[in-house]
């Protein structure tokens, strides 16, 4: 489904003994998040072998997970259904770039109200979906489950054991759990949540089998999908300096946080940091549409 090996790219930090290297999981696919591919690998296999079709899952309007499921489903000949948060989206003439991509890849979209969306894990809601669509293979929002964590364990390779720190952005916690499980005891895994909330610690603990990890919660910029001009300007400068595009929802916030922590002396001298670029670049187009409406500076592409 994707090419291996994904390469590690060094990022120069002037006047510092710290080494920062980016694992370019974003190069797995131009539109689909690298970590979402990893999360889907064993789930698609499972859906196929149990002959449970279609795959049904949940997401917001800009969801990287929705885009990934649609694409992977098409590649593997498995039909997909996306339950999308916000019924107003279905009434619009033009779907946003994420949903357009999902639809083009054959995903059937069902738009539900925010209230209904909150009930998405309740058994009554799921049984209504079963009445409507028949039996399906259910993937939770964000795609995190045991098989997804197993897929994310393949991100870290033996050449990565030389790093003292492994950093990643955190949404539902599946990706960091895979990194934790694949890491060595001498490594510290740092997660940078893209959203507010204390529930993440517990969610990660459900899937992680050691405790060499920590969440750094200062860089969510106000919550999921929220941004600030300084974040946009950081993303644009980073691209100019290092020729690596970052997304505004996840990887931009993580790298902003890493640079801020480096500047503030959080990392000891000569630390070797590996930051996972999980992708998410498909989200830039939708974010820019919104920034344009607000007449704010755009993310340069």
Ligand X SMILES: *Cc1c(COP(=O)(O)O)cnc(C)c1O
Q: Which residues are catalytic?
A: 63
Question: Among the residues of the chain, which ranges form H helices?
Answer: 34-49, 64-76, 88-91, 97-104, 114-118, 123-133, 146-152, 174-182, 199-207, 229-242, 251-263, 283-293
Stretch that binds ligand X, among 42-50, 54-62, 264-272, 276-284 (CB under 6 A): 276-284
Element (H, E) at 112: strand 108-112
Decide if residue 64 touches ligand X (CB under 6 A): yes
- Check: CB of residue 64 under 8 Å from CB of residue 26: no
Count of residues engaged in binding ligand X, rule: CB under 6 A: 21
Interface with ligand X (CB under 6 A), residue from 60, 97, 173, 286 = 173
Tokens of 102: 């999902």
**Tokens 């946003």 -> residue:** 96
Contacts of 112 (CB under 8 A, 6+ apart): 83, 84, 85, 86, 87
Q: Considering the complex, what minimum distance in angstroms separates the CB of residue 31 from ligand X?
A: 11
Decide if residue 59 touches ligand X (CB under 6 A): no
Binding mask of the shown chain, residues 2 to 41, with x at each position contacting ligand X by CB under 6 A: -------------------------------x-xx-----
Stretch that binds ligand X, among 77-85, 126-134, 167-175, 289-297 (CB under 6 A): 167-175
- Give the angle 215-219-224 at the CA atoms, nearest 5°: 95
Decide if residue 174 touches ligand X (CB under 6 A): yes
Q: Considering the complex, what minimum distance in angstroms separates the CB of residue 93 from ligand X?
A: 27
Decide if residue 250 touches ligand X (CB under 6 A): yes
What residue ranges bind ligand X (CB under 6 A)? 33, 35-36, 64-65, 142, 144, 169-176, 247, 250-251, 278-280
């Amino acid at each position: 489904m994707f090419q291996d090996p994904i390469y590690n790219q060094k990022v120069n930090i002037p006047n510092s003994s710290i080494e920062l290297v980016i694992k370019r999981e974003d190069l797995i696919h131009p539109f689909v998040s690298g970590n979402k591919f990893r999360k889907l690998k064993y789930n698609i296999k499972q859906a196929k072998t149990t002959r449970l079709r279609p795959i049904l899952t949940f997401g917001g309007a800009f969801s990287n997970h929705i885009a990934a499921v649609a694409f992977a489903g098409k590649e593997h000949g498995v039909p997909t259904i996306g339950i999308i948060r916000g019924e107003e989206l279905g009434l619009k003439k033009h779907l946003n770039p994420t949903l357009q991509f999902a639809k083009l890849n054959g995903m059937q979209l069902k738009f539900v109200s925010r209230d209904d969306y909150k009930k998405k894990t309740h058994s009554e809601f799921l049984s209504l979906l079963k009445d409507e669509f028949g039996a399906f293979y259910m993937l939770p929002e964000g795609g995190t489950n045991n098989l997804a964590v197993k897929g994310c364990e393949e991100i870290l390779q033996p050449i990565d054991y030389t790093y003292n720190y492994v950093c990643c952005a955190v949404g539902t916690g599946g990706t960091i759990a895979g990194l934790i499980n694949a890491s060595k005891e001498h490594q510290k895994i740092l997660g940078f949540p893209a959203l507010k909330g204390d529930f993440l610690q517990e969610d990660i603990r459900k899937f992680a089998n050691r405790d060499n990890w920590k969440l750094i919660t200062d860089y969510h910029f106000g919550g999921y999908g929220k941004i600030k001009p300084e974040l946009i300007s950081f993303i644009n400068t980073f691209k100019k300096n290092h020729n690596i595009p970052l997304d505004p929802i996840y990887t931009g916030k993580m790298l902003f946080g890493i640079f801020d922590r480096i500047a503030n002396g959080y990392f000891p001298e000569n630390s070797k940091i590996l930051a996972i670029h999980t992708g998410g670049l498909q989200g830039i187009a939708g974010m820019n549409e919104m920034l344009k409406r607000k007449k704010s500076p755009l993310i340069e592409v």
